[in-house]
Structure 1
């Protein structure tokens, strides 16, 4: 079977008004005060909530941050929006300091910006994600 290479305007040019992922990520990050691994550790010590949004397979392969709350990406907004009937018990106010981590710090930036859109103005992410945490020599399990 031979693969068919599709060409033409609908496969080359993006639709008008669309945004590429690089621009979407840059816009999200422009709104965040991203934290380094040591800054994240200090924030957690003072009461910030660290949330790991990686899927179970990534956590099993790479490890976890002790004490991080696991909320997979597909339900994050429902669990943290104070208006949501599906929110977690601690998600009762918009001043909650939340730090999101993923594996390398890309998905977490988009997720943190989404939480800011919900009104959680102190939401941010761990720059470099779990990989940066581990590289900094911080505890993992």
Structure 2
């Protein structure tokens, strides 16, 4: 197994990953949905309704509750945060890093935006 796959497995082992069909319920319950997809992917595939767009390269600074650069919508370490990337790989690593920063309820969307899009197409 490659080193990155081992790192990904370790990250996911501590996440309570959200399946695509549960994302709307999480948002309705107050979870902060963070879309880290690059602008090119959002333009190509569409926006994720209700999500806050945060570039991956500044994610930790914008979500760390102790950072002077945090977004005002970040309220504390017990806030439910769900990170969404395109296919659910970089979001797993990002969510684990957010947990390391003290955001203990941070997680990601299993399968990313593409899984959510497929679920939405099948449900509609």
Please state which band the TM-score falls in when normalised by the shorter chain: over 0.9
Structure 1: gaps spanning 5 or more residues: 1-18
The 2-side partners of 1:92 and 1:78 are apart by 14
Select the residue among 60, 65, 77 that pairs with 1:77.
60
Greater fraction of residues in helix: 2
The alignment status of 1:40 with 2:23, answered yes or no, reads: yes
| Residue 120 of structure 1: aligned partner | 103
User: How many angstroms does 1:70 deviate by?
Assistant: 0.1
- Residue number among 86, 93, 97 corresponding to 1:110 in the alignment: 93
What's the CA shift for 1:63?
Answer: 1.2
What is the TM-score with the length of structure 1 in the denominator?
0.82
Q: Aligned equivalents of 1:38 and 1:111: distance in 2?
A: 21
- The CA deviation at 1:90 is 2.0
Structure 1 stretches (4+) deviating beyond 2 angstroms? none
Aligned pair partner of 1:63 in 33, 46, 55: 46
1:31 maps onto 2:14 in alignment: yes
* 2:5 aligns with one of 18, 22, 28: 22
Q: Which has the higher mean CA deviation after the structures are superposed, 58-67 or 69-78?
A: 58-67
Instruction: Show structure 2 runs of 5+ residues with no match.
Output: none
Between 38-47 and 69-78, the greater mean CA deviation after superposition: 38-47
Paired residue total:
120
Structure label with greater radius of gyration = 1
Find the counterpart in structure 2 of residue 99 from structure 1. 82
- 2:49 and 2:73 mapped to 1: Cα distance? 19
